[in-house]
Amino acid sequence: MAGYGEILSSIIDYMYSFISQYPALYALILGIVGALILSAIVNVGAMAVVWLERKVLGDIGARFGPNRVGGRWGIIQLGADAIKLFTKEDSIPEGADRQVYVWAPIVASMATMLVAAAIPFGALYIEGQEYPLVVANMDISAFYVEAALSLLAIGAFMAGYSSNNKYSMLGAFRGIARMISYEVPMGICVIAVAIMAQSLNLVEIVQSQTLWYAFAQPLGFIIFTIAIITDLGRIPFDQSEAEEEIIAGYTTEYGGIRWGLLYFQEYDMMLLGSILMVLLFLGGWSGPIIPLPLLSVVTPLIWFVIKIIIVLVFLIWVRGSLLRFRIDQVTDLGWKWMLPLSIVNLAWAVLVGPYLLAYFA
């Protein structure tokens, strides 16, 4: 044991000396490693979300869902789909803006990673202290995430504009109109949460929830839920990809791995949107600590994953149960109802929120 201790001590000493001698190189290496780990977590989680949606929608429709590749549960069906997309012919439409067309899926994927960089992915409980699992713990992480979410419209517009297809362009304009009309009330709901928490830091917002903000401001929770579903472009708010009207919207002219990136980015955002809802309104990773030696460390992570799964199943249930709205109905709902109600919720947070939280403190 002494030998192992000496080896570990020498490794730690070497790391400290390396950091002191090459701080810039250390920061670069740490950033690259963090980005790779973050990308792996988000993409593996999105693969699980795709599988979960197929199985839940199968149950809703009295079907089996994936049950061929990877055993009766179809666990590696997405791997087979990825192989198919990688081996399909890569073509670019005639008359398309090639540079913009090629970069659109990459920009959409980069926007996803920008959102993920500031979102906590749970916490560990070690010796009575919580250690949040977050790449960039910013003081204004809630606003940063809100701003990064708006970049998704740029990727959609690039894909629609560059495809030289009228249906693609219609889908891009629909997506931008939808996102703008719901980004505003969603941002106001985030401000209301920040007022109650007295912080824009997502970690501090989680730690301040002695009473879940879903109960402290139920109207804001409902508005945020509708807005996040709209921002994700999921049924009943998927007018930018309405198959019955505009073929496949801004993805009409995409195929192969480029289409796969756009498709997979939607599930990345579905996972991140669910995490954001849990962080802002459902207490994040808070929950009773399991008094067992090993489980107590990961108890916050267990509660966090359970809440995320519940939100994901709810989003899938909404998709399997509701019909698509018309684009004019969506924009009317956003500007005529959601915006005024979000202002009412903001007034509630300012006037009633402090007394409500003090009562439950």
The 10s digit of each residue's pLDDT in 76-131 is 777 787 788 778 777 777 777 888 888 888 888 888 888 888 888 888 887 777 78
Helix (H, G, I), strand (E, B) or coil at 131: strand
Q: In which band, very low, low, confident or very high, does the pLDDT at 342 lie, cut at 50, 70 and 90?
A: very high
**pLDDT at position 359:** 73
**Selected residue with higher pLDDT from 231 and 30:** 231
Q: Between the ranges 25-39, 127-141, 308-322, where is the mean pLDDT highest?
A: 308-322
**pLDDT at position 6:** 67
Reference 197, options 128, 100, 280; nearest CA is 280
**Selected residue with higher pLDDT from 61 and 20:** 61
Q: Is the pLDDT of residue 343 over 90?
A: yes
Mean pLDDT of the chain: 81
| CA 306 – CA 299 distance, rounded (Å) | 11
**Selected residue with higher pLDDT from 317 and 36:** 317
Helix (H, G, I), strand (E, B) or coil at 74: coil
| Strand partners of residue 131 | 124
CB 178 within 8 A of CB 335: no
- How many other C-beta atoms are found inside a 10 Å radius of the C-beta of residue 261? 19
CB 171 within 8 A of CB 241: yes
| CA 309 – CA 316 distance, rounded (Å) | 10
| Average pLDDT, integer, range 126-147 | 82
Residue 80: CA count within 13 A, CB half-sphere: 11
| Average pLDDT, integer, range 295-308 | 86
| Range of lowest pLDDT (103-107, 144-148, 255-259, 270-274) | 255-259
Q: Residue 1 is encoded by which pair of tokens? A: 């044991």
In this structure, the dihedral spanned by the alpha carbons of residues 60, 62, 67 and 72, taken in order and rounded to 10 degrees, is 100
Reference 107, options 276, 241, 250, 271; nearest CA is 250
Phi, psi of 130 (to 5 degrees): -95, 135
Please report how the helices 23-60 and 295-321 are oriented relative to each other, as an axis angle in degrees rounded to 10: 50
* CA distances in angstroms from 180 to 114, 141, 144, 177, 187, listed in the order given: 19, 20, 17, 5, 11
Q: Which residues contact 288 (CB under 8 A, 6 or more apart)?
A: 299
Helix (H, G, I), strand (E, B) or coil at 97: coil
- Could you report the per-residue pLDDT of 152-207, keeping only the tens digit for each? 878 888 888 888 888 888 888 887 888 888 888 988 999 999 988 888 889 889 98
**pLDDT at position 1:** 46
Reference 237, options 247, 227, 249, 252; nearest CA is 227
Q: Calculate what percentage of the chain has a pLDDT beyond 90.
A: 11
Q: Is the pLDDT of residue 12 over 70?
A: no
- Could you report the per-residue pLDDT of 195-246, keeping only the tens digit for each? 888 888 898 899 888 888 988 899 999 999 998 888 887 778 776 666 666 6
**pLDDT at position 112:** 86
Its pTM surpasses 0.75: yes
Altogether, the residues listed in the chain come to a count of 361
User: What is the residue-wise DSSP string for 35-71?
Assistant: HHHHHHHHHHHHHHHHHHHHHHHHHHTT---S-STTT
Q: Is the pLDDT of residue 17 over 60?
A: yes
Q: Residue 238 is encoded by which pair of tokens? A: 């998927």
